[in-house]
Amino acid sequence: MTTIIGIAGNQIIQSVDIFNGNHVSYTPQAFVTAIQKAGGLPIVLPIGEEEHAAAYVSQIDKLLLAGGQDISPDYFGEEPHPKLEETNRNRDIFELALIKEAIKQSKPIFAVCRGMQLLNVALGGTLYQDLSLYPEWKVQHGQEPTQPQFATHGIQIEKDSALYDLLGETYRVNSYHHQAINTLASSLKITAKSTDGIVEAIESADKSQNILGVQWHPELRFDVDTKEFTLFDYFVNQL
């Protein structure tokens, strides 16, 4: 039976010159393509009311949390830092509800970039609102203008992890983030770090919950690096 993957969607408002500022629900095509290639059936879950999260999650087998805006800092007890970038509270509220329901319904979660950070916040962790607040910051974690198909920095992967089985002890990744995990949620474990100590991957410390989170963007490299595709194959067919 085909595995149904619910991808938490995002919103964009088109310019007033295009359909008078039309609101669009979307997810990056690369997520859709990678899931299809792995044999899954992707369905985009549009941002909605939090009370509808349980119904959405009941219709899927697994949940994917994509990248995007910064996370509203009041969800981890902070006021907005001057370097905080765009947030979308409606998205935060809905995705937090999706995470809660996915855990309640024992549905596996694959979280990418913002998704990994939000998952940590949902479970009680905190974030650095900007990498300038991290005292050991030494690696470029926002690689623009270098194109995303190119890996730009290394990570070290813990041996006792699913990620180690997929990627090995060391790996190189692309990087597009200015926020990062600060305090880790107690129900999670760190499975990879960059050479300057930034959290690059997490998994559940509880064997009863299947969670994989990565800080980089495998959806932007899976067609040029087969190891990146193994993450989607693992998510769809094993996690």
Mean pLDDT, 10 residues at a time, the chain of 239 residues: 95 67 86 98 97 98 97 98 96 98 98 98 98 95 94 96 97 97 98 98 94 98 96 97
- Find the catalytic residue in 101, 203, 217, 228: 217
Q: What is the value of pTM for the model shown?
A: 0.95
- Find the catalytic residue in 95, 101, 203, 219: 219
- Dihedrals phi, psi of 202, to nearest 5 degrees: -135, 155
Fold adopted by 4-237? Rossmann fold (3.40.50)
217 catalytically annotated? yes
144 catalytically annotated? no
The pLDDT value recorded for residue 15 is: 57
Going by DSSP bridges, is the β-strand pair 180-181/211-214 parallel, antiparallel, or unpaired? Answer: unpaired
52 catalytically annotated? no
